[in-house]
Structure 1
Amino acid sequence: MVRFPARAPETPRKAGTRPWLIWLAWMAAIAVLYLLMVQLLAPAKATFSASDGGTLHVPRHRDGHFYIDGAVNGVPVQFMVDTGASIVSVSDAVAHAAALHGGRRAVFSTASGPREGRIVVADSVALGGFTLRGIEVGTGLAIGNDAQALLGQNVLRHFHVTMDGSTMVLRPR
């Protein structure tokens, strides 16, 4: 009869090691999915064509709005075209960074109700390949994140605005 040596007892695994790895893997997967969704849901970029005095083509975003990357006094913002807004509006954080100080007090009528702010003249408002000088800007906007701004009629009146399917086209007047 052949005898085999007795097996050494298995050492138990440390409690919590496996659940920790599973949790870490899930967190990594969620982070990757989040980054992908941020990229997929980001508004399509407006394109500028310098021919014929300049044309800005702004594709409609999934949410139905039109977004244009721009700047106020050199401070980057993402404008949401708002045909119902009288003037360009920015957050207090953008106003501070863009040195939009002083001006006159104002109460703005917003979808969320009245909002106090100021109306200040900006040295420059840039969108696409265009730069406008001496544009009034309302401060105190509170939507989304601080880098979002509204592009109002006081800028849009400088352009011929047309719709080509789901693309807004801006041409200087």
Structure 2
Amino acid sequence: MSHLLAPPKAVYVAAGQGELQLPRHRDGHFYVDGAINGVPVQFMVDTGASLVSVSDAVAQEAGLQGGRSARFSTAGGTRQGRIVASDTLRLAGFTLQGVEVGTGLNVGSSNQALLGQNVLRHFDMQIERDRMVLRPR
């Protein structure tokens, strides 16, 4: 059953500078598999989030230590966390370096993460019906 409920996989198209095509999940969101410092995560695109955010478990596994203390305002209220720079953040065929990541996110499974504006600003984003397309700027 979990296979049937899993979000459809994003497709990386290598033509030109490349683009990422994300089909809309039945819950209305867009998801893409990726990694932070080599640790696999499933990103949910969140255009309202300022930063990429991960759970404490992902942060620990990815070696996201130190950084600065921060308070995050979320739909579920305010939470305490940290802001730490990652070494690498990967989305399909795209790799970014030094991306700031907020820790302390509590959603679904521990490997889920939010893909915020600090990564989305590197892409032109277009939504075409039930598909989001991300193209590098």
Instruction: Give me the TM-score of the superposition, normalised by structure 2.
Output: 0.99
Give unpaired runs (5+ residues) of structure 1.
Answer: 1-36
- Partner Cα separation in structure 1 for residue 80 and residue 21 of structure 2: 33
Residue 163 of structure 1: how far off its partner (Å): 1.0
Residue 165 of structure 1: how far off its partner (Å): 1.6
Number of aligned residue pairs: 137
- Partner Cα separation in structure 2 for residue 83 and residue 165 of structure 1: 17
Structure 1 or 2: more helix by fraction: 1
Give unpaired runs (5+ residues) of structure 2.
Answer: none
- Partner Cα separation in structure 2 for residue 161 and residue 61 of structure 1: 17
Task: State yes or no: 1:116 paired with 2:80.
Answer: yes
Report what 1:63 is aligned to. 27
Higher RCO by CA contacts (8 Å cutoff, separation 6 or greater): 2
Q: Runs (4+) of structure 1 moved beyond 6 Å?
A: none
Q: How does 1:85-96 map to 2 (within 5 A)?
A: 85-96=49-60
Residue 128 of structure 1: how far off its partner (Å): 1.5
- Partner Cα separation in structure 2 for residue 91 and residue 99 of structure 1: 12
- Partner Cα separation in structure 2 for residue 44 and residue 128 of structure 1: 14
Match among 111, 128, 133 for residue 164 of structure 1: 128
- Which structure has the bigger radius of gyration? 1
Instruction: Give me the TM-score of the superposition, normalised by structure 1.
Output: 0.78
Deviations 1:92-119 (A, max 9, x none): 0000000000000000001111000000
Task: State yes or no: 1:148 paired with 2:112.
Answer: yes
- Partner Cα separation in structure 1 for residue 103 and residue 119 of structure 2: 16
Residue 85 of structure 1: how far off its partner (Å): 0.2
- Partner Cα separation in structure 2 for residue 163 and residue 81 of structure 1: 12
Structure 1 or 2: more strand by fraction: 2
Q: State percent identity of aligned pairs.
A: 67
RMSD value, Cα: 0.5
